[in-house]
Amino acid sequence: MGKKLYVGGIAWTTKEDGLKETFSAAGEVESATIITDRMSGRSKGFGFVEFVNDDDAQKAIEMFNGKELDGRTLTVNEARPREERPSREDSY
C-alpha cells in the first residue's frame, strides 16, 4: 500500500498532470489530485499525491517541501485521515 501526501501552496495555474509529472521525479506516482471549489471549479490551492511505495513518498517530502513550483512555495507532508464533519443539513 502506498502513502498519500498532502501538498499545500499549489498555484491556481498548476494542473493535476503537471503535479503528477513533477512528483514522479521522486518515484512512481499512483495519483495526483488538486482539490477544487464546487461552485467555481477553481483550485483551492492544495491537493494530494499518492505514491506506490512509502520510500518514494518520503523522498518526495524531502525533495519538494519548501521548494517552489509555478511560483509558489509548496508544503509537503504525510496526509492525515479526513476528519468526519457533520453534514450541512444538521447545522441548520
Cell numbers representing residue 7 in the block:
501538498
Q: What is the CATH number of the domain that holds 60?
A: 3.30.70.330
Residue 44 included in any domain: no
Within-domain flag for 31: yes
- Whether 87 is in a domain gets the answer no
Domain that holds residue 59: 1-36+52-80
Strands (DSSP E) found in the chain = 4-8, 29-36, 43-51, 68-69, 72-73, 75-78
Residue 46 lies inside a defined structural domain of this protein: no
- pTM confidence score: 0.86
Per the structure, the count of domains in the chain is: 1
Per-residue pLDDT of 33-60, as tens digits, reads 999 999 999 999 999 999 999 999 999 9
Strand 29-36's sheet: what is its strand order?
29-36, 43-51, 4-8, 75-78
Report yes or no on 88 lying in a domain: no
Amino acid identity, position 37: D
**Residue 81: what pLDDT?**
81
Say yes or no to pLDDT of 79 above 70. yes
Alpha-carbon span 25 to 91, nearest angstrom:
44
pLDDT band at 1 (very low <50, low <70, confident <90, very high): low
The residue type of 89 is E
| Nearest-angstrom CA–CA distance, 77 and 4 | 9
**Residue 43 included in any domain:** no
In a domain, 61, yes or no: yes
45 inside domain: no
